[in-house]
Amino acid sequence: MTAFILRRLVQSVIVMLTVALVAFALFRFVGDPIASMVGQETTLAERAELRAALGLDDPFLVQFWNFVARAATGDFGISYRLQQPVMELILSRLPATLELALVSGILAFVFGVGFGVYTALRRGGWASSTIMTVSLIGVSLPTFLIGVLLIWVFAVELQWLPSFGRGETVYIGDWWRTGLLTESGRASLILPAITLGLYQMTLIMRLVRAEMLEVLRTDYIKFARARGLSNRAVNFGHALKNTLVPVITITGLQMGSIIAFSIITETVFQWPGVGALFINSVRFVDVPVMAAYLMLIALVFVVINLIVDLLYYAVDPRLRVDRANARH
């Protein structure tokens, strides 16, 4: 297990360096950040002085090395647009994105697994057919259109829920601001969480249904029924446990996707998260913020993949047996 974790950590470092290199190289061609930082009355000499102060005149490899060296200590530099440390900007908006992603992920997993198991066990019923038909909406419609439809129905027509913003927030500790402890904060979270999690829920539901149907046709399930075990014991004690092995992988990757692709949802609902910060940074060619955002997303995927690999050992005993045999 220790050697396995060490190999994964080495691979993670290589992935992070590759992402940093690609991001840093791409952002050199998105525009001139000096143009968005100064006015038209700025002289060429002042522009050249500012460029030298920011290190933009240095060779590419020197700039990249300085960026990686600082990033390893959590220092991503100063935002060109806001003139604030990038890490402070990200930390101030990270709680909003993480809370939205967490609630969306929980909704997607709980309802995805629940509906997937139900439609597999009751695949001939009208309720299962209705669920499978409605689930096509989550797969077919783009995220921004789902958000607009929810705003129109629940915020404009019914006026049950707010259409934008995060609502009232309170501090937990020095920097974590949460809306989960206030009524307006929880109400503001409902529509964005449904919008962000609906597509992921349909994917998980269809995967669980397909895996559950396949497992129910295996010989050991038939043997369990022949032994006289109850349907509950067979379906949930044996079939569901083996169904969850591939679901863990998809769910883990989808959690990373929820965080990475929350940009659209945050834009539609004006949610003050990291995704909205990235969109504004692209508009103003704020390279330090853009690079830090991509590094953050890469780190999220790397950590989730490591957790998923470790969960495999807890769920699937065959992996532990295979590794033990390999050692002998």
SS3 state of residue 215: helix
**Residues 67 and 21: beta-carbon distance below 8 Å:** no
Q: What is the pLDDT of residue 326?
A: 53
- pLDDT tens figures, 169-221: 888 877 788 888 888 889 999 999 999 888 888 888 888 888 888 888 877 77
Q: What is the pLDDT of residue 116?
A: 87
Q: Which of 46-55, 159-168, 200-209 has the lowest mean pLDDT?
A: 46-55
Q: What is the pLDDT of residue 168?
A: 87
Q: Given a cut of 70, is residue 77 above it in pLDDT?
A: yes
SS3 state of residue 55: coil
SS3 state of residue 58: coil
**Nearest to residue 292, comparing CAs of 281, 303, 306?**
281
**Nearest to residue 278, comparing CAs of 57, 89, 104?**
89
Q: What are the residues whose beta carbons fall under 8 Å from the beta carbon of 247, sequence distance 6 or more?
A: 113, 204, 207, 208, 211
Q: Report the alpha-carbon distance of residue 203 to residue 210 in Å, rounded.
A: 11
CA 184-269-23 angle, to 5 degrees, is 125
| Mean pLDDT taken over the chain | 81
Taking the CA atoms of 239, 241, 246 and 251 in sequence, report the sign of the dihedral they define. positive
SS3 state of residue 84: coil
User: Residues of the chain with pLDDT > 70: what percent?
Assistant: 89
CATH code given to domain 89-273: 1.10.3720.10
Q: Averaged over 222-230, what is the pLDDT?
A: 78
- Longest C-alpha distance within the chain, in Å? 87
Q: Report the alpha-carbon distance of residue 237 to residue 243 in Å, rounded.
A: 11
Higher pLDDT, residue 59 or 115: 115
Query: In which element (H, E) is residue 116 found?
Result: helix 86-121
Q: Given a cut of 80, is residue 38 above it in pLDDT?
A: no
Q: Report the alpha-carbon distance of residue 70 to residue 67 in Å, rounded.
A: 5
Q: What are phi and psi of 60, to 5 degrees?
A: -60, -45
- For the chain, helix, strand, coil in percent to 5 are 75, 0, 20
Q: Given a cut of 60, is residue 321 above it in pLDDT?
A: no
**Residues 254 and 102: beta-carbon distance below 8 Å:** no
Q: Given a cut of 70, is residue 239 above it in pLDDT?
A: yes
Q: What is the pLDDT of residue 300?
A: 83
Six-digit token string for 274: 């990291």
